[in-house]
Amino acid sequence: MKYFELEHENCKGIYKRGKPYTISIGAGVCFGIMPDWKELTHEVLVKTVDNTLSKTDFENILNNLGWSLDSLLQAALNRQIENKGSIDEFNEIMQNALYDSILTNAETYGIKEDLKKFISDPFRRDNQAIIPLYDFFKKEYGNSSLFKISEFLLEAKKMGFPPKAILTFNADVLLHSLLTLMELKEMNDTVGNTNAADFSYKAVHHVIESDGHKIPIYHIHGSIVPYIGKRDARENLVFPENSYHNVTGSTHSWQQSIFQYYAQRTRMVFIGLSMSDPNIRRWLSHANSVLNQDIINMTGERKNTTNHIWVTPKSLSNAERELKKLGLYHLGIKVAEIDNWTRLKNGMLNLIS
């Protein structure tokens, strides 16, 4: 199996040919901005089960039990219910755990309230806050994967070859918020105000919601914002074990239907995902088997398609690199390594050049 590097010649333009592409993003895209799953789970357990639980004790529990993080979040929810708490209160704990870090950081710039409002609804904004908010993101998170993928998405749209859709497995709405902020900043730089700003991407949180003829950002695992409103889909949040199984176990869920459609109709780029999630792997396995069967039916040729790409850091050894390739081959995925996540925009541009 061929070895790919995202910025190398062997990846140059391979998504410019053939099917359109879709981007799937996970929590790794917000590394350094939002807590990862482990950090989130620890904080929620502190707020619900044991407020003395140290990070060391939490690590020991993880190692001793061997349970998944969603099962521990289910334990936290069970304790909340046992103590006569509500799912709404639990979701608020999740919300605070997600956004506390970035809001605390924004507070040092004196824009905490502006950021909360913008995240919750960027279309009911204070135009005076646009430049300070953009400067905050640029200074604090300009080298993050989130910032780099946002830059790429806007440039890809200008090039006339944007993704057909973005599937996000994150509950936060930072990707769409930052894309919107960047387009508002660009319009303000051009004409001195944001009144005529047009937007390329539209966040979709509910099955009945239209994409408004924009490029949709589907929130596969629900969404949550500081101020409850249209950008909230708390009923679809997938964190505790029960809700996770409800989405991934059903053959008719909106989330699975969306994923299967784009996995079969487009090439996919996976960014910020570990590819260890058994349910995503199951969805991919089904999508790839359908494609391979179609090839047999149409051509009589038996082969395994590898339309999709997983972007991952450089492997530590040749053995690790081989295991990555072999472990994803049957899911229709080729592996493309990246030297540094600050190079994400350049690598993605190479892919569609």
Ordered by start, the domain boundaries in the chain are: 4-351
Q: What are the C-alpha distances in Å from 315 to residues 304, 320, 340, 351? A: 24, 6, 12, 20
> Distance between CA 38 and CA 145 in Å, rounded?
19
Bridge-based pairing of strands 308-313 and 215-219 is unpaired
CA–centroid distance for 225 within its chain: 15
Res. 271: pLDDT tops 80? yes
Q: Which two tokens stand for residue 197?
A: 């700003």
Q: How far is CA 288 from CA 43, 52, 281, 293, in A?
A: 37, 46, 10, 9
Residue 177 has pLDDT above 50, yes or no: yes
Give the residue carrying structure tokens 């929130």. Answer: 219
> Six-digit token pair at 312?
């991952």
pLDDT number for residue 242: 47
Strand (E) or helix (H) holding 347: helix 344-351
Question: What is the rounded CA–CA span in Å between residue 169 and residue 204?
Answer: 12
DSSP 10: G
pLDDT of residue 244: 47
* pLDDT at residue 230 is higher than 70: yes
DSSP 3-state assignment of 154? helix
Beta strands in 95-214 (DSSP E): 165-168, 201-204
CB 273 within 8 A of CB 26: yes
Q: What are phi and psi of 63, to 5 degrees?
A: -70, -40
Q: Please provide the average confidence, as pLDDT, over all residues in the chain.
A: 90
Residue 90 CB partners (closer than 8 Å, separation 6+): 48, 76, 77, 80
- Rounded CA gap, 265 and 261, in Å? 6
CA angle 161, 163, 167 (to 5 degrees): 170
Q: pTM to 2 decimals?
A: 0.91
241 pLDDT tier (thresholds 50, 70, 90): very low
Q: Are 31 and 145 in contact (CB under 8 A)?
A: yes
Q: In the chain, pLDDT over 70 holds for what percent of residues?
A: 95
Provide the strand spans (E) within 26-149: none
Q: What percent of the chain has pLDDT over 90?
A: 64
Q: Is the pLDDT of residue 240 over 70?
A: no
